Amino acid sequence: MTTRLNPYLSFRDNAREALEFYHSVFGGELNVSTFGEFGVSDDPAERNKIMHGQVTAPDGLVLMGADTPASMPDPGGSSISVSLSGEDAAELTGYWEKLSNGGTVQEPLSQAPWGDSFGMCIDRFGTHWMVNIAGTQAAQESDPSQAARS
């Protein structure tokens, strides 16, 4: 099996809502398991909270998350940003529009000094996102056959 690095987001009592939102952004499959299903919490108030959730998008993106039990410290803010990057401008712009809707745009998605389009936002669940869409020059540098056709 190939090693993967997947973002795993922590929430306090709203993981289901957040994962359903990310599912609406990225599509694919949403799978959730509750603390009650696995019998891992004696607190009846946590029975329906998410112990593990996962969005698996059609293009292979995977985003995981869970509610933090009351017995653990609140995850609060984070110094982590989730970065989406690639060459499909329509796909990445669509993700940007959905993620930033209802959130806070820190840096509008626009032409960056390095030639790509870049933006940063914090979605309505407090997750920090960076979106980078490769510019023509960056795409040509990664595919020498493109440079030959220019």
> Any idea where the domains of the chain sit in the sequence?
1-70, 77-144
Bigger pLDDT: 79 or 41? 41
Instruction: Name the percent of the chain lying above pLDDT 90.
Output: 71
CATH number for the domain formed by residue range(s) 1-70:
3.10.180.10
**Mean pLDDT of the 36-59 span:** 92
Mean pLDDT is lowest, of 65-74, 98-107, 108-117, for 65-74
Residue 30 and residue 55 in contact, taking contact as beta carbons nearer than 8 Å: yes
77-144 fold: 3.30.720
Question: Angle CA(63)–CA(110)–CA(92) in degrees, nearest 5?
Answer: 30
From 50-54, 70-74, 137-141, the region with the lowest mean pLDDT = 137-141
What is the model's pLDDT at position 74? 77
Q: Has residue 113 got a pLDDT over 70?
A: yes
What does the DSSP assignment read for 91-140?
Answer: HHHHHHHHHHTTSEEEEEEEE-TTSSEEEEEE-TTS-EEEEEE--HHHHH
